[in-house]
Amino acid sequence: MSDPEDLVSLAVSEQPRRDDLLVVDHVTLRFGGVVALDDVSFEVRRGEILGLIGPNGAGKTTCFNAMTGVYRPTSGEVRFDGERVSGRKPHQINRMGIARTFQNIRLFPEMTALENVMVGTDSQHFTSVPGALFRLYRKRAKPEELPVVDSDNGLVRAWQQTRLAFAKVFGISRHTLEERAGEQKGMALLRFVGIADRANDLARNLPYGYQRRLEIARALATEPKLLCLDEPAAGFNPAEKEQLLKLIRDIRDKGYTVLLIEHDMRLVMGVTDRIVVLEFGKKIAEGPPAEVRENPKVIAAYLGVPADAS
């Protein structure tokens, strides 16, 4: 097995081709008479950080939900890697390569931080009830996978040697290998987001900032091609926001594509490559941060000045 630190950077091996990873194609979404999204089109390119911004109620989260399959567009479609997203179940969409965090944190509060991340790593694993129960799918163990014999106590040592002999004869089950890989990768991810010191604490007992980071680690654990962050800086003070910016850049540098929803303009300007601006369910601007910042429509949307008066 490779160095666990490397496991985080698995996504780098994906060749970052300069094409569109996610395409939102003329998506309209109506709830009864309310038009939540009105003919919105944009795309997320591989390897970039795209910001999706807009004032409160502009349809950011609705757009997000349409992308991740929670809502089905009334017309138009969302394609990910060339395949239609809508109509699939949430866990299938996750397997396509989209992972997300939640605006209001939704961890598994009664599981430890490490277990939370391991739920994410489990999405690439295959052990089900028969495999866990009977430890099936055994394969010949590589030397480094064999159980260690390290105890000084005679009895314990004898037990360890029995286990070693057993593993040599019968091999190692998929369950064991997956557990081990999940734990290593989980710890590596916790270190990556900087919360490894509280790995064995229940998620509910973690401080707020840790919980936000844990959500990101859990999403990364599913090895997504696209990581969607829904207002990850909500409730953060400026220092924490700064750390978060660094983390998001680190994530991009690992080779992930990031979609960032945020209404804090300064945060978005500092980290994104391109920005899409929504207002009242319509796309009003798209482009690099500097360009978008100068766009009169955007200024109007944020400052409430009528567009023609500016």
Partner 1 sequence: MTETLREINDRRQRLTAGIGERVRALPRWQKVLGLLAFVGFLYYLPYLGIPGLTWFRTDYIPQGNNWAGVLFSCAIYVLIAIGLNIVVGLAGLLDLGYVGFYAIGAYSVALFGSTQSPVVEALQNRFGLSEQWAVSWAICIPLAITFTMISGVILGWPTLRLRGDYLAIVTLGFGEIIRIVARNSSWTGGPQGIAAIPGPEGAPSADNTIFGLIDPKPWYWLALTVVIVMVFAVRRLEHSRVGRAWLAIREDEDAAAVMGVPGFKFKLWAFAMGAALGGLSGFLFASRNAFIEPTQFNVYLSILFVAAVVAGGAGNIPGVAIGAFLLAYLPERFRDFSEYRTLAFGLALVLVMLLRPQGLIPSRRRARELADRRKEAPANV
**Least distance to partner 1 from the beta carbon of 190, Å?**
16
Q: How far apart are CA 259 and CA 229, in angstroms?
A: 6
Work out whether strand 34-45 and strand 20-31 pair parallel, antiparallel, or are unpaired: antiparallel
Contact between 107 and partner 1 by CB under 8 A: the answer reads yes
Residue closer to partner 1, measured from CB, 75 or 128: 128
Residue closer to partner 1, measured from CB, 133 or 165: 133
List of long-range contacts for 31-39, beta carbons under 8 Å, 24+ apart: 35/281, 36/62, 36/281, 37/62, 37/63, 37/66, 37/73, 37/281, 38/280, 38/281, 38/282, 39/76, 39/282
CB burial class (10 A; 0-12, 13-18, 19+) of residue 54? buried
Angle between helices 208-221 and 238-253 in degrees, nearest 10: 10
Report CA dihedral (146, 148, 149, 151) to the nearest 10 degrees.
-160
Q: Which of 18, 89, 148, 237 binds partner 1 (CB under 8 A)?
A: 89
Angle between helices 174-193 and 208-221 in degrees, nearest 10: 140
Residue closer to partner 1, measured from CB, 111 or 269: 111
Q: Which of 48, 178, 231, 262 binds partner 1 (CB under 8 A)?
A: 178
Scan residues 129-168 and list those touching partner 1 (CB under 8 A): 129, 131-133, 135, 153, 155-156
Q: Could you tell me which of 90, 67, 72, 80 has the C-alpha nearest to residue 261? A: 67
Q: How far apart are CA 255 and CA 234, in angstroms?
A: 25
Residue closer to partner 1, measured from CB, 28 or 123: 123
Residue closer to partner 1, measured from CB, 38 or 122: 122
Return the range that interacts with partner 1 (CB under 8 A); candidates 20-28, 51-59, 94-102, 264-272.
94-102
Decide: helix, strand or coil at residue 68: coil
Q: How far apart are CA 95 and CA 143, in angstroms?
A: 32
Residue closer to partner 1, measured from CB, 95 or 241: 95
**Size of interface with partner 1, in residues (CB under 8 A):** 42
Contact between 108 and partner 1 by CB under 8 A: the answer reads yes
Residue closer to partner 1, measured from CB, 228 or 267: 228
Contact between 94 and partner 1 by CB under 8 A: the answer reads yes
Map residues 109-128 to x or -, x wherever contact with partner 1 holds by CB under 8 A: xxx---x--xxx-xx-x-xx
**Least distance to partner 1 from the beta carbon of 95, Å?**
6
Contact between 296 and partner 1 by CB under 8 A: the answer reads no
Largest pairwise CA distance in the chain: 86
Map residues 218-237 to x or -, x wherever contact with partner 1 holds by CB under 8 A: xx--x---------------
Contact criterion met (CB below 8 Å) for 170 and 145: no
* Contacts to partner 1 by CB under 8 A: 68, 89-91, 94-95, 99-100, 102, 106-111, 115, 118-120, 122-123, 125, 127-129, 131-133, 135, 153, 155-156, 175, 178-179, 182, 202, 204-205, 218-219, 222
